[in-house]
Structure 1
Amino acid sequence: MATLAKPQPAIDEPSEFPHWSDGVPTDGDIAHIPGEAGLPLVGNTFKQLADPHGFTRRMVETYGKVYKTKAFGGWHVSLIGAEANELVLFNKDKIFSSEQGWGPVLDQLFPRGLMLLDFDHHRIDRRALSIAFKPEPMRHYCGSLNSGIAREVAGWEGPMRFNPAIKSLTLDLAADSFLGIPWGPEADKINTAFVDMVQASVAPVRKPLPFTKMKKGVDGRAYMVEFLNREVIRRRKEGGGQDMFSQFATATKEDGSLLEVDAVVDHMSFLMMAAHDTITSSATSFMYYLATQPAWQEKLREEIFAVTGGPDADGNPRPLSYEDLGKLELTEMAFKETMRMMPPVPSMPRRALKDFEFGGYRIPAGQAVGINIYWTHHSDEYWDNPYTFDPMRFTPDKVKARHKYAWVPFGGGAHMCLGLHFAYMQVKILLAQLLQRYRIEAEQGYSPEWQPWPIPQPKDGLKIEFKKL
């Protein structure tokens, strides 16, 4: 049986865990787990990239809810279904490392982000960072989002490709709400560096060789680190503002000490990446469903008009106040259904720190494992007519009757997305501005092809039209 390269440390010493490349189980250690090796050298990599959801569906039908596949240079064991989600995400027995699961993908560009920390280290930093999501700063973000979104979407009348437009807007909003930097040349430089980092995180060439995406990403990270380091020191001297970065810069740990400067830099860089990509994906998916489901679009418009009072006498949308966010219940249900249909993170990797059993199989320590959120969100074990868009699945009684881990677009357990309420807020404000101005339309029968992985996005950019009310 495979063992980790070093004895497993106490849980409160996550920095002592072996690196993710140490202690990989041998073929013999997982010979009893069913699955497929695929082609020599490449395994099933290209099959998974070509159709990840179809591949998972076929593997579950063939081998069951625990199976192995060789891809991306090694064996991976998939644990499928709501029960698997609960085991891995709740992580009651501290079996799974998020740091070592995500490390191979994100280490070079977004190291030591909150998602890449485990146990006590994660808990301490998460508690310190949570100050940025308390009511007072959230009210500030709400005001910034209302003004920033209103300014931009006022010019969206007519046909457009929504995905690049919302991607650009989300970056500008991050510069404002996250970093407290006004729109302009400096924000543009940061956005360019940031986009290079995000693109490099999923680049097939993983070394920063000249002229590669990884080289641009590594250079982008160097620029961001230099800028953010300088800003942390400045904001601590001058006293921070209400933006998220200033909140992080002045956050304190349990003993009252400030977070280390490099920790603030890494957390801010990672959070911008996580928020930008997932909100862009989710907002794009939401626009698709509203454009192709006009009856639901009208129901949400009615709710928004009832809460805001509708446009003012000059026809300008009224802003959505922080206190009114919770009143958009149907809008939130529709957004939750969007994330069920198109989860922004379709799967999540982990690494086992010790032997465990699931589904009748023993999985050895050191093994790369993962859960598949998309499969669970589309399984008829948990959902009636799972490929039909129906926000009424999220009424309180139906949520209570369903397995708690059947819907996990924000993860779960200790690693539940720290910014989930910010995501709800940004999408609700976006929708309030759009639906008070426009009717969202798509051509009859429109069904774009989606890039399903690593984060869903329509290959054509999502062709929709905003028609003034």
Structure 2
Amino acid sequence: MATVAAPLSGAEPFTPAHWSQRLPKSALDHIPGDDGWPLVGTTLKVLADPPAYGRRMYARYGPVFRTNSFGIRNVNLIGAEANELVLFDRQGIFSSEQGWSPVLHRLFPRGLMLLDFEKHRADRRALSIAFKPEPMRHYAGTLNREIARRVESWGSGPMRFYPAIKQLTLDLAADSFIGLPFGPEAERINQAFVDMVQASVAPVRKPLPFSRMKKGVDGRAFLVDYFTRETLRRRESGGGQDMFSQFATATDESGTLLPIDEVVDHMNFLMMAAHDTITSSATALVYLLARHPVWQDRVRDELLALTGTPGAPLSFDDLARPQLTEMAFKEALRMIPPVPSLPRRALRAFEFGGYHIPAGAPVSVSPAMVHHLEEHWPEPDRFDPERFLPEQVRARHKYAWVPFGGGAHMCLGLHFAYMQIKILMAHLLTRYRIEVADGYEPRWQAWPIPQPRDGLRIALRALN
């Protein structure tokens, strides 16, 4: 059995030097799959249409197959059982840090998703203070105020929804997360995050002049400097209710403040994870409700019954009540999950699907594929929020639906995501009817986070 040395302990940060300690190529030869073309492997095939490529591989090889993308031979494990094995990770076999770091280490090191085991648990406990009821109530007020203002400004008529909601979520992140008013400083911060996200999947992985990676690295340098200065300032002033202030003043179990560089890295990662995934999820939900006006009307009626008046706030105390809205959102997350694939690295050898997977193997599971398996989801291409009625949820494998991941790395901000989407729908659907042209089906760019290539062309019609 091929093995790898010290990095498999999962106890030390991933560095580029670890890439040289990959498995010998022959260690995965017994796994069926596709090594792709010379030099580029399967990278171009995957990026061209990740869902279609995955379906072809699954149909040909079954739930265990090998690919060769971004210079890494990877074992793909498909199915709810695979999701449970890797995400719940009862035996501590899989490293999230060493799964994500080959892509993200240069831009988003030491975010929660790039930590493992006890370090991950300790930082997660410290950072969870930002999602307690009192701060969440504060965020709800900010979201209601700013979403109402922006949605009203959109007005009736045609629009491209994706860029509009992306700008809104960026501005909301600057306000709710950092406590910055909209303006030039927030715009500079937002652009730095956009540059970093685009660089995370740039084909050229070195920060060469004028490359996307160079813009991303420069964006990170700007944000490290900004968040370092702000962490010191907020510790001196006592901070505030925004998420960054909560992080800046968070302490570990001994009551010690987190190191400043760790606060900075957590904030960088959170901003990336929050605004891009919420943008994608909101866009998917708006498109699907536009395509299914009966469900749009049901969600609208539910929200109007709670708010009483078009455009009125959805209060923090009422957030658990719009169940149809939540079901529709969950179905949108099933059909177009914001993170299509979740990478890990095996720290120890394991068995799955009749195959021996050696220690050191890069592995991944795919929410996007499992969310469309007919064994869990009859007619998987049909939009049906009633799949999330309680009795149907109880009857289904717990890990058949994993848009927020699972286990120890379950998304820390998932309740914030639900809150933001419900408040957005309360303001949008009670003011407007959302329409798309007959037969309109946007092409979706699947990687790194799904988005419609044309920006999603919709029309808003004011309700009288």
TM-score by length of 1: 0.96
Counterpart in the other structure of 1:216: 215
Counterpart in the other structure of 1:140: 138
Counterpart in the other structure of 1:352: 346
How far does the alpha carbon of each residue in 1:277-327 deviate from its partner, in whole angstroms, 9 at most, with x for none? 10000001111001111110000000001111123xxxxx11010010100
Q: Which runs of 5+ in 2 are unaligned?
A: none
Contact 1:197 1:218 in 2 (8 A): yes
What CA distance in whole angstroms lies between the structure 1 residues aligned with 2:263 and 2:99?
Answer: 22
Matched residue type, 2:212? K
Worse overlay, 70-79 or 253-262 = 70-79
1:54 aligns with 2:52: yes
Deviation at 1:22, TM superposition (A): 4.4
Deviation at 1:401, TM superposition (A): 0.6
Counterpart in the other structure of 2:36: 38
Deviation at 1:7, TM superposition (A): 7.6
What CA distance in whole angstroms lies between the structure 1 residues aligned with 2:12 and 2:383?
Answer: 42
Deviation at 1:446, TM superposition (A): 1.1
What CA distance in whole angstroms lies between the structure 1 residues aligned with 2:6 and 2:235?
Answer: 39
- Tell me which of 334, 348, 358 is aligned to 2:328: 334
- Tell me which of 400, 407, 423 is aligned to 1:406: 400
Contact 2:63 2:353 in 1 (8 A): yes
Number of equivalent positions = 462
Counterpart in the other structure of 2:227: 228
Contact 1:177 1:243 in 2 (8 A): yes
Worse overlay, 170-179 or 452-461 = 452-461
What CA distance in whole angstroms lies between the structure 2 residues aligned with 1:423 and 1:278?
Answer: 9
Contact 2:206 2:214 in 1 (8 A): yes
- SS at 1:382's partner residue? coil
Contact 1:14 1:119 in 2 (8 A): no
Contact 1:350 1:368 in 2 (8 A): yes
Contact 2:32 2:64 in 1 (8 A): yes
Deviation at 1:192, TM superposition (A): 1.5
What CA distance in whole angstroms lies between the structure 2 residues aligned with 1:180 and 1:163?
Answer: 24
How far does the alpha carbon of each residue in 1:157-211 deviate from its partner, in whole angstroms, 9 at most, with x for none? 2110000000001110001000001111111111121211111111111111111
Counterpart in the other structure of 1:71: 69
What CA distance in whole angstroms lies between the structure 2 residues aligned with 1:7 and 1:326?
Answer: 43
TM-score by length of 2: 0.97
Counterpart in the other structure of 1:247: 246
Counterpart in the other structure of 1:282: 281
- Tell me which of 89, 93, 96 is aligned to 1:95: 93
- SS at 1:380's partner residue? coil
- SS at 1:439's partner residue? strand
The aligned runs of 1:84-163 (5 Å cut-off) are: 84-157=82-155, 158-163=157-162
- SS at 1:464's partner residue? strand
Matched residue type, 1:277? D
Matched residue type, 2:322? L
Deviation at 1:56, TM superposition (A): 1.0
- SS at 1:154's partner residue? helix
Deviation at 1:28, TM superposition (A): 2.3
Matched residue type, 2:250? A
Deviation at 1:36, TM superposition (A): 1.8
Q: Which runs of 5+ in 1 are unaligned?
A: 312-316
- SS at 1:253's partner residue? coil
What CA distance in whole angstroms lies between the structure 1 residues aligned with 2:233 and 2:351?
Answer: 50
Counterpart in the other structure of 1:429: 423
Matched residue type, 1:93? Q
Counterpart in the other structure of 1:314: none
- SS at 2:21's partner residue? coil
What CA distance in whole angstroms lies between the structure 1 residues aligned with 2:422 and 2:80?
Answer: 28
Matched residue type, 1:49? L
Matched residue type, 1:240? G
Percent identity between matched residues is 66
Counterpart in the other structure of 1:196: 195
Contact 2:68 2:74 in 1 (8 A): yes
Deviation at 1:223, TM superposition (A): 0.7
Deviation at 1:17, TM superposition (A): 9.8
What CA distance in whole angstroms lies between the structure 2 residues aligned with 1:205 and 1:7?
Answer: 25
Counterpart in the other structure of 1:419: 413
Counterpart in the other structure of 1:377: 371
Deviating above 2 A after TM superposition, structure 1's stretches of 4 or more consecutive aligned residues are 5-9, 13-20
What CA distance in whole angstroms lies between the structure 2 residues aligned with 1:260 and 1:104?
Answer: 24
What CA distance in whole angstroms lies between the structure 1 residues aligned with 2:82 and 2:113?
Answer: 19
